[in-house]
Amino acid sequence: MLELDVLFFRIKKFSFWVLALFFVFSVILVITLAFLKEYQRYEKERKGTGLEKKEYYIEKLLGSEKSAECQLQEVEFYTYSGNDPLWKENNKYGIYIYAEVDEFFDRAEELVNSGKGDWGYVLIPYNVKDNNFEKWKNVFAKLKEKHLIPVIQLHDVDVDKYKEQTRNAAEFLNRFVWPIRYRYISVYNEPNDQKFWYGKVDPEEYAKILKYTIDVFKEENPDFFMLNGAFNVTAPTDANHMDSLEFMRRMELAEPGIFSKLDGWASHSYPQPNFSGHPHNEGRWSIKAYETELAYLKQVLKVEKYLPVFITETGWAHAEGQEYNSSYLPVDKVAEYFRMAFEDVWLKDDRVRAVMPFTIKYDPPFDHFSWLNKDNVPYKHFDVIRDLKKVKGRPPQLVVNKVQVGNCGQ
């Protein structure tokens, strides 16, 4: 009897656990079924929402495809055809012009790119306070159209505001599409002459400003090719001038290594005396004055860097002008001398990269240097140089690339 009681007890205990487990599994099953039902409803809603979103985006895409933004179109971007700053096929002919007169670009092209030539040079003054975008956009468009390589000569900096004005000028000039890769900048003009440097001669100040200008322009774009402001190389040391070699020496003392920061050398190699010297003359008073400057850089200032020469001013004064000046050479002789200078001197000298005589046209008394008279008729030396055979220059020039963008439906 005792054994039966134990057996029934065990059965009851077992049944309890079975019922308990059944209850637990039932609860789990109910929860699971409820979860699955909820999940199915969630998935249905999610898929529905996803489909609605898909339909919405497809509709938007199709609508965008019909809009102007998604029409297939060409976009231009610019590169340059090389990276050699001393390219071999170089047309050295150039002229000094001004940004404000459109005709000067036509005349420059006629002068320097004639005789089967291409990509000659122009020097153009630029006031560092000039932010006229449309004006300079037009200038760079004409340079590209006419295949003219610009050398931009800075001027009119306020020395007490030079940092702000220099940075603004670098940013402004870098906004434009230049016709070749290298962006030539000459940093002011004849600073060893007080009339071009605020009534004083200050080599230390000019050296400081030159160094800052090189650094800022290079920081803005390493393709800026920096030149000094050419010196008045024949001026003596007096109340209004400083001998250019002494000026250079003091610059180097003030800013050691200043000349090694340059990419090229700007020179005003005029035929003296009285802008009338023979083209075969030698020395500081000749059209080869740059030789004296280069020798001083190398031998005295120990500048080892090779600096190609850009003659940013040169030329003979002619007697003809608004008033005849018999102290100058007649225009026929000036024309002959210019031909000799190019053919016998500058074209044969590999150190010379460009020659930009002063000037296309100027008011009296500097009209005696003009290549066009007051009616824009060329003087004889214009005709003679125009008719000389020239090199077809091959600089690293602008390449306009085109890529198709848009067509949103594909």
pLDDT (tens digit per residue) in 176-221 = 999 999 999 999 999 999 999 989 999 999 999 999 999 999 999 9
What token pair was written down for 68?
A: 């102007």
Instruction: Give the pLDDT score at 342.
Output: 98
pLDDT score recorded for residue 58 = 42
CA pair distance 226, 262, nearest whole angstrom:
6
Asked if 215 contacts 162 with a C-beta cutoff of 8 angstroms, the reply is no
CA distances from 179 to 45, 309, 390 (A): 61, 20, 20
The four Cα atoms 125, 127, 130, 135 give a dihedral, to 10 degrees, of -10
Between CA 184 and CA 224 the distance in angstroms is 6
- The pLDDT, as a whole number, for residue 43 is 52
**Ranges in the chain, pLDDT < 50:** 1-2, 4, 6-9, 11, 42, 45-62, 64-66
| Nearest by Cα to 242 from 210, 197, 289, 285 | 197
Maximal C-alpha separation, the chain: 158
**Are the C-beta atoms of 367 and 377 separated by less than 8 Å?**
no
pTM above 0.75, yes or no: yes
**The two three-digit tokens of residue 288, written as one number:** 């080869």
Assigned token pair, 80: 């340059």
For the chain, the residue count is 410
